[in-house]
Amino acid sequence: MSESPPLSPIRLHKALERIWGTGPGWQRLSAVNHTVLGKRFMLTAFVFFAIGGVLAMLIRAQLASPHAAFVGPEIYNQLFSMHGTLMMFLFAIPMLEGLAIYLLPKMLGARDMAFPRLTAYGYWCYLFGGIIIVASMLFGVAPNSGWFMYTPLSSQPYTPGINADIWLLGVTFVEISALSAAIEITVSILKLRAPGMALGRMPLFAWYMLVTAMMMVFGFPPLILGSILLELERAFGLPFFDPTRGGDALLWQHLFWLFGHPEVYIIFLPAAGALSTIIPVFAQRRIVGYHAIIAAIVALAFLSFGLWVHHMFTVGIPHLALAFFSAASALVAIPTAVQIFAWLATLAHGRPRFEVPMLYVMGFFLVFVIGGLTGVMLAMVPFDQQAHDSYFVVAHLHYVLVGGFVFPMLAAAYYWLPHVTGRQSVHRISVPAFWLIFIGFNLTFFMMHLTGLMGMPRRVYTYPSNFGWDWLNLLSSVSGFILTMGFALFAMDIVLHFRFGRRFRRNLWRAPTLDWAMPTRPTSYAFASLPTVTGHAEEADPDTLGPQLAGGQGYLGFVRKNRLETLGVDMTTGRVEHVAILPSPTYLPFISGALTTGVVLAMLFKFYIIALLFALATFASFLFWSREKGEREDCGPIAIGKGETAPPDAEVSGPSAYWAMVIGLAANGTGFAALLFGALYLWLVAPAWPPPQIVGPSLWLWLVLPALGLASLASRWAQGTNASGRDPRLQLSVGMGLDIAALIVLSLALAALPDPTAHAHMATMAALLGYSWLHAALGLFCGLNALLRYRWGYVSARRPLPLRLNLMWHDFTLVTGLLGVALILAMPGLIGALEAAR
């Protein structure tokens, strides 16, 4: 295709805006644009932060004096459970997702994220899930077992109401949206960058987000699995955590903290990424130790998965085992110290200028260092056994999370708000707001170190006055209200900023990153044409680059066939690889999100048939996603500007969707590994073993593998047929028939199991078969999707992706099925061996 003559910047802008922009009014529900959705995520997260803050004020009101009668334990337990849940799951994680979604394409020189409809779907899931969780408070049935939901307290006999179900279903709903965001962030960073931006030239913020997103990919599945198992126990009596029937409360703690500890770094790293972006700007110098920081955060990511047991130093694990986790927990201070000193060195070797964002960076420094120091203290086993579950821990976690996330986010807000609004603040309310927040925070939480050392356990709703805690608590409460006033002032400042901020032309802070090489407020398409990165992406020159790109002098500075185009690159080198064609605004994510909410609500009220119908409707709606997008003909390399060409994404071997499947399967595999771990953990550690009855091999169990194997073979056959240019529909149909056969065999194998509510052994075996059943069912969906896409004309020998994805899914199902069945067959031997050893 030949290039049309270059348009003027204004006409180019109009042409791009027409196809990238989101319409007004109700059309806002169809938004899939990263700028729009990033802002929505952040605004929604801030609203949940405010609600969580109000809960904290109620908590402090109750604790201000001894014997307070403001609320009783029933309400108080909901208050602190909801405060933690809101701040962790509905504020921190979505806030960092929003920041990443808003910034990443702009920093990487792309026009959008890899899967804009998925971004929108994730947003709706988050919003609806959050509303369900918050609404539960209005009905007085909010979760009340604490934000880490320890069993058996959160199990049916001790929390019979709907409270715990709201947590398990609501949070899982939000977490699945977070997991999809993580997959999208990973793929977007790896594939959608400006040409020439090799991994080693990427801005540090993108590195931080890449590591964070990978941690989410491996950290969230254990929690999601744990929540599903606990909900299965609550709803259907499968005793995974019930110690009287072969389950174990400690399994929940392991699964929860296997997620819960990485979670802390998942929250901290994006904030640190913002700091690594902001500090060099105000130091007026490139960051010191670019490679050292990358090494540090990668090390941090690995270490963070090896120290979850430091939340469990008092559960009775042998001291020598604790020693390993204690050392690993202390070791984590090193990569953190590397970053702290890299930032200090950047300032020491730069020409620092002090502006409002740096005030908040200072707040981060002082608060976070204290949190880090108390963290090292808590990593020491004997000290932790005193301080654990006391207010010392409450103090520590607030120092780490507020220091490590809230202060950096405030700095980021003041740094990027001009980018969002195109205005700069004229009032300096930000300064008194800072001092109120900083002083209020320290007075509130520093006191809690002492309260904890003086023996106050966390989660008590009141206390007598003879323990010496009165003045400490009163001071904490009063200061808590100072802190709140600071946040109110911050919120007011933001409103004033929107209303009265003064416009500026370009690159307010003289930043050297690509996010400022565009008009601010940003246009929907971000870059009118895409930049080429020849040096380091943190040494860009937005002031000259911006006008050039707006004038269409970069790549893709035109509109073709009304398509939304951006460039896909080779992961490591950043060489141009393909033209990624992105979807236009559509209501489908909203519809799918609403249907998914139907699934969650129906399960919450135990209408399982209706839940199943909603689930089928949700998947049907996904088929419409599939129908909307694709290329109906092979077209070969197309022009991308500057006289170069690249093939469209459907015609390359590694487009974004392929990598999303790879990473999605890695997450899924992690969940499966957690299930295997659970089955073996219960066998090895749980009380009330051996089980009264042992699952033996049934005929149907033996047939599971041939069924899954043949389904996988049929998928391979279909792919081969298509690759040689022939119609693969017969083979796909055969594959779907085999999927159905596998479903029947798996159902019969499940029916042949002894009663799964009788003992955790039977329950885990049922869960393994259930996992395969679910994957065979989804395999059927993959096959149907491939079949329909072929029929719609989106598939050819050169555009084989749906068939490849179908094959990957079936291979994964086969491998996990193999492992699951192998474990079931090995269990009788394992149980016998352990009994013999005992």
Partner 1 sequence: MKRARILPPLALASASLSACAGPLSTLDPAGPSADAVANLWWVMFWASVLLFLLVGGLWALVWLRPGFGRSLAPMRWVVLGGLVMPGVLLTLLVGFALYIGERLLPHALADPPPRVSAHGIMWQWQFSYPDIAGAATTPTLHIPAGAPVDIVVTSGDVVHSFWVPRLAGKIDAIPGHRNVIRIQADRPGTYEGVCAEFCGDGHTTMRFRVEAHAPQDYRQAVLEAAP
Residues 747-806 touching partner 1, rule: CB under 8 A, are none
Q: Considering only 55-63, 241-249, 550-558, 672-680, which stretch makes contact with partner 1 by CB under 8 A?
A: 241-249
* Closest CB 68 distance from partner 1, rounded Å: 12
- 188 near partner 1, rule: CB under 8 A: no
What CA–CA distance (Å, rounded) separates 809 from 788? 17
Structural contact between residues 683 and 763, judged by C-beta atoms closer than 8 angstroms: no
What CA–CA distance (Å, rounded) separates 229 from 249? 12
Helix (H, G, I), strand (E, B) or coil at 555: strand
Task: For residue 245, count other CB atoms closer than 10 A to its CB.
Answer: 23
Helix (H, G, I), strand (E, B) or coil at 457: strand
- 390 near partner 1, rule: CB under 8 A: yes
* Closest CB 232 distance from partner 1, rounded Å: 19
What CA–CA distance (Å, rounded) separates 194 from 658? 20
Give the total residue count for the chain.
838
CB nearer to partner 1: pick between 76 and 220: 76
Helix (H) or strand (E) holding 22: none
- 551 near partner 1, rule: CB under 8 A: no
CB nearer to partner 1: pick between 394 and 582: 394
Amino acid at site 706:
P
What CA–CA distance (Å, rounded) separates 657 from 581? 12
* Closest CB 547 distance from partner 1, rounded Å: 33
* Closest CB 160 distance from partner 1, rounded Å: 12
CB nearer to partner 1: pick between 218 and 256: 256
- 454 near partner 1, rule: CB under 8 A: yes
Site for partner 1 in 291-320 (CB under 8 A): 292, 296, 314-316, 319
Here the tokens at position 471 are: 């003045």
Out of 198, 331, 488, 594, point to the residue binding partner 1 (CB under 8 A): 331
- 616 near partner 1, rule: CB under 8 A: no
Q: Considering only 39-47, 323-331, 649-657, 757-765, which stretch makes contact with partner 1 by CB under 8 A?
A: 323-331
- 369 near partner 1, rule: CB under 8 A: yes
| Site residue total, partner 1 (CB under 8 A) | 91
Site for partner 1 in 679-718 (CB under 8 A): 686-688
Strands (E), 361-503: 423-424, 502-503
Out of 212, 339, 476, 712, point to the residue binding partner 1 (CB under 8 A): 339
Out of 340, 617, 758, 815, point to the residue binding partner 1 (CB under 8 A): 340
- 71 near partner 1, rule: CB under 8 A: no
Q: Considering only 151-159, 264-272, 776-784, 816-824, which stretch makes contact with partner 1 by CB under 8 A?
A: 151-159
- 459 near partner 1, rule: CB under 8 A: yes
* Closest CB 242 distance from partner 1, rounded Å: 9
- Report the phi/psi class of residue 10: left, alpha or beta, with left for phi > 0 and alpha for psi in -120 to 50: alpha
Out of 4, 27, 386, 572, point to the residue binding partner 1 (CB under 8 A): 386
CB nearer to partner 1: pick between 334 and 833: 334
CB nearer to partner 1: pick between 404 and 593: 404
Helix (H, G, I), strand (E, B) or coil at 504: coil
* Closest CB 244 distance from partner 1, rounded Å: 7
Site for partner 1 in 432-451 (CB under 8 A): 442-443, 446, 449-450
Alpha carbon 565 to its chain centroid, in Å, reads 26
* Closest CB 639 distance from partner 1, rounded Å: 44
- 642 near partner 1, rule: CB under 8 A: no
Task: For residue 292, count other CB atoms closer than 10 A to its CB.
Answer: 16
Site for partner 1 in 106-145 (CB under 8 A): 145
Here the tokens at position 180 are: 């999809």
Helix (H) or strand (E) holding 695: none
- 388 near partner 1, rule: CB under 8 A: yes
Alpha carbon 587 to its chain centroid, in Å, reads 23
* Closest CB 367 distance from partner 1, rounded Å: 11
Here the tokens at position 601 are: 């609500």
- 468 near partner 1, rule: CB under 8 A: yes
Structural contact between residues 323 and 254, judged by C-beta atoms closer than 8 angstroms: no
- 536 near partner 1, rule: CB under 8 A: no
Helix (H) or strand (E) holding 453: helix 430-453
- 321 near partner 1, rule: CB under 8 A: no
- 243 near partner 1, rule: CB under 8 A: yes
Site for partner 1 in 348-367 (CB under 8 A): 348-349, 351-352, 354, 362, 365-366
CB nearer to partner 1: pick between 187 and 448: 448
* Closest CB 381 distance from partner 1, rounded Å: 4
The DSSP secondary-structure symbol of 796 reads B
Site for partner 1 in 156-175 (CB under 8 A): 158
Q: Is 367 exposed, middle or buried (0-12, 13-18, 19+ CB in 10 A)?
A: buried
Structural contact between residues 780 and 737, judged by C-beta atoms closer than 8 angstroms: no
Amino acid at site 498:
F
Out of 131, 299, 380, 615, point to the residue binding partner 1 (CB under 8 A): 380
Here the tokens at position 257 are: 């903290």
- 65 near partner 1, rule: CB under 8 A: no
* Closest CB 414 distance from partner 1, rounded Å: 18
Cis peptide before 521 (omega within 30 of 0): yes
Closest CA relative to residue 224, chosen from 281, 174, 160, 285? 174
Here the tokens at position 452 are: 């904890």
Q: Is 644 exposed, middle or buried (0-12, 13-18, 19+ CB in 10 A)?
A: exposed
Upper half-sphere CA count for residue 56 (Cβ side, 13 Å):
26
- 622 near partner 1, rule: CB under 8 A: no
- 249 near partner 1, rule: CB under 8 A: yes
CB nearer to partner 1: pick between 8 and 244: 244
CB nearer to partner 1: pick between 354 and 504: 354
CB nearer to partner 1: pick between 225 and 381: 381
- 44 near partner 1, rule: CB under 8 A: no
* Closest CB 469 distance from partner 1, rounded Å: 8
The radius of gyration of the chain from alpha carbons, rounded to an integer in Å, stands at 27
Out of 66, 200, 432, 455, point to the residue binding partner 1 (CB under 8 A): 455
- 460 near partner 1, rule: CB under 8 A: yes
Q: Is 67 exposed, middle or buried (0-12, 13-18, 19+ CB in 10 A)?
A: exposed
- 323 near partner 1, rule: CB under 8 A: yes
Out of 19, 68, 306, 389, point to the residue binding partner 1 (CB under 8 A): 389
CB nearer to partner 1: pick between 386 and 645: 386
Closest CA relative to residue 293, chosen from 315, 306, 277? 277
* Closest CB 382 distance from partner 1, rounded Å: 5
Task: For residue 24, count other CB atoms closer than 10 A to its CB.
Answer: 7
* Closest CB 80 distance from partner 1, rounded Å: 9
Here the tokens at position 268 are: 């901290």
Alpha-carbon distance values, 276 to 286, 301, 345, 457 (Å): 10, 17, 12, 37
Structural contact between residues 68 and 62, judged by C-beta atoms closer than 8 angstroms: yes
> Between 729-752 and 760-791, two packed helices, what is the crossing angle to 10 degrees?
170
* Closest CB 204 distance from partner 1, rounded Å: 14
What CA–CA distance (Å, rounded) separates 749 from 762? 12
- 462 near partner 1, rule: CB under 8 A: yes
Out of 345, 744, 752, 818, point to the residue binding partner 1 (CB under 8 A): 345
Site for partner 1 in 22-41 (CB under 8 A): none
* Closest CB 141 distance from partner 1, rounded Å: 15
